[in-house]
Amino acid sequence: MRYLLVLLSTFLIVVSCSSSKEQEKHITEIPPEMVLIPSGTFTMGGRSDQAYADEFPQHQVKVSAFLMDETEVTNAQFKAFVEATGYVTTAERAVDWEELKKQLPSGTPKPADSLLAGGSLIFEKTNKPVELNDVSQWWVWTIGANWRQPEGPHSDIEQKMNHPVVHVSWEDANAYAKWAGKRLPTEAEWEWASMGGLENAKYPWGDEPVESAYEKANFWQGVFPFQNHKLDGFDASAPVKSFPPNGYGLYDMAGNVWEWCIDKYDVRSYTVNANSGLLENPSGSEEYYDPREPHTPKHVIRGGSFLCNDSYCSGYRTSRRMSSSRDSGFNHTGFRCARSL
């Protein structure tokens, strides 16, 4: 009897694995501008001496096959969504003081209404090298900045329709995804997909040092945030598909713009995950927690941007995690979508 049970158990495992692979083989109609990401098991978390504390401990994750946009959502695609739905992004609305004050220390006085007009954060280079512990030196709140006017009121996207849409909040990204019949990827899906089939790859292109990889992605070469040598050819965002895709056919999984994931950011989540054995299709923590900003609900962003540099964030690493408040927009943050099979 015991021998029979062992045989039966082995048979079920083989059938389960075969069914998964057969399911992937029979997907013949992949939607335009999406690619199939195969299922797999990998070690999720920091894999270099540049890794931050929240990238540890490493833990085992299994991801089912899914579909993912081959590029970041472009201005043209987002414009089609807005024209079809009349959607108004977070950056285009006046700031809701009642919501904002929940994220601020108790007793913070309300600013003038003129300062609560719709806007977003724009990067501005400094005029000299600076210490990197004060982001207010290069981020400027700009009224009138939004996805239509990415550099402020006097800018437009007429010549940037094939650039990633920016100044979109997590809420905006979800609204687009729902309209498109898709969803945001989980953090685990994103990390698995970013490696493009390479095992424990440090970057989406492999392990080639970033110093010599300026033809592989759009990121900052030089002294951040003062001087960008633009060895990659771009000072800000680049048109999608300007750089080679990874092994799965995904473009810009490193650099260009940060990308929203569905997961809530919880600095403790990897510790919980590591104590849970092999995780199948994890979708993140059930609660928000960042001790640096304990009152601010944040979501995970991945992939780095045109501003990333080893001296500051090394965001182009496949395991690098960052976070942003769900209602914030920046001119270096966008998204791409996924779809379950």
Instruction: Give per-residue pLDDT as tens, 170-188.
Output: 999 999 999 999 999 999 9
Span 210-250, pLDDT tens digits: 999 999 999 999 999 999 999 999 999 999 999 999 999 99
pLDDT over threshold 60, residue 56: yes
Domain 40-340: which topology?
A: paralog of FGE (formylglycine-generating enzyme) (3.90.1580)
Residues 78 and 257 sit within 8 Å (Cβ to Cβ): no
The Cα 46–Cα 57 span in angstroms is 8
Cα separation values, 20 from 15, 27, 196, 338, Å:
9, 11, 19, 19
Predicted local confidence at residue 5, as pLDDT: 34
| More confident site: 21 or 165 | 165
Q: List, in sequence order, the alpha helices (H) in the chain.
A: 2-25, 75-85, 97-100, 170-179, 187-194, 269-274
Average pLDDT, the chain: 90
pLDDT computed for residue 111 by the predictor = 74
- The reported pLDDT for the residue numbered 175 is 98
Cβ–Cβ < 8 Å for 216, 194: no
Residue 206 has which token pair? 């492999």
pLDDT at 25: 55
Q: How far is the C-alpha of 96 from the C-alpha of 110, rounded, in Å?
A: 11
> What confidence tier does 116 reach under pLDDT thresholds 50, 70, 90?
confident
SS3 85: helix
Query: pTM score, two decimals?
Result: 0.90
- Structure token pair of residue 92: 């285009």
Q: Which two tokens stand for residue 84?
A: 């079809």
Q: How far is it, in rounded angstroms, from Cα 205 to Cα 251? A: 11
- The neighbour count for residue 108, using CB atoms within 10 Å, is 10
Residue 29 banded pLDDT, cuts 50, 70, 90: confident
Q: What is the pLDDT of residue 99?
A: 72
Best CA proximity match to 182, nearest among 80, 85, 292, 66: 66
C-alpha triplet 140, 142, 143: angle, nearest 5°:
160
Query: Given this model, what pLDDT does residue 97 score?
Result: 65
Q: How confident is the model at residue 10 (pLDDT cuts 50, 70, 90)?
A: very low
CB atoms within 10 A of CB 245: 17
119-170 pLDDT, tens digit each = 999 999 999 999 999 999 999 999 999 999 999 999 999 999 999 999 999 9
pLDDT greater than 50 at residue 19 = no
* Percent of the chain scoring above 70 in pLDDT: 89
Q: Residue 281: is its pLDDT beyond 90? A: yes
Give 142's contacts (C-beta < 8 A, 6+ positions apart): 119, 120, 121, 122, 152
Query: Which of 41-45, 93-97, 311-315 has the highest mean predicted lDDT (pLDDT)?
Result: 41-45
338 membership: H or E segment, kind and range: strand 338-340
User: Whose structure tokens read 């089912």?
Assistant: 64
Tell me the domain boundaries of the chain.
Answer: 40-340
HSE (side-chain half, CA atoms, 13 Å) at 321: 29
